[in-house]
């Protein structure tokens, strides 16, 4: 295999997986990228559990970055930024206050 991960791809890989991938995982992902022509993000998403977000009252979700910072965004913004990532949203029922 001749393709190596750039530092940015390595950082992205860790962010998508949630952990430092083993050498075997990296090779498996790169091999599938070469064979299918799919983007790395789409290949990785097949092997990971989707993140779960509870929507805020305003319809936004809180995305936590690896450095611990939290970014508020709508589900549509999430899809635009990461078009190949799946995610689960939990909506709270509105209760009558009568």
Distance in angstroms (rounded) separating the CA atoms of residues 82 and 79:
5
Dihedral sign for Cα atoms in the order 1, 32, 87, 76: positive
And the tokens for 50? 């989707």
Whole-number pLDDT of residue 77: 95
Helices (H) and strands (E) in the chain, counts: 4, 4
Taking only the tens place, the pLDDT of each residue in 52-96 is 888 998 999 998 877 789 999 999 999 998 888 888 888 877 766
Domains of the chain, by residue range, sit at 7-45, 52-90
Distance in angstroms (rounded) separating the CA atoms of residues 89 and 76:
12
Q: State the pTM of this model.
A: 0.64
């Amino acid at each position: 295999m001749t393709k190596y991960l750039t530092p940015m791809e390595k950082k992205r890989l860790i962010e998508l997986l949630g952990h430092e991938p083993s050498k075997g995982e990296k090779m498996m992902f790169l091999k599938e990228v070469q064979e299918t022509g799919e983007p790395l993000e789409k290949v990785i998403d097949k092997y990971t559990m989707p993140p779960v977000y509870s929507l805020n009252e305003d319809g936004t979700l809180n995305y936590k970055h690896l450095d611990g910072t939290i970014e508020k965004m709508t589900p549509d913004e999430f899809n635009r930024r990461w078009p190949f990532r799946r995610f689960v949203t939990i909506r709270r029922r509105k209760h009558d206050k009568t």
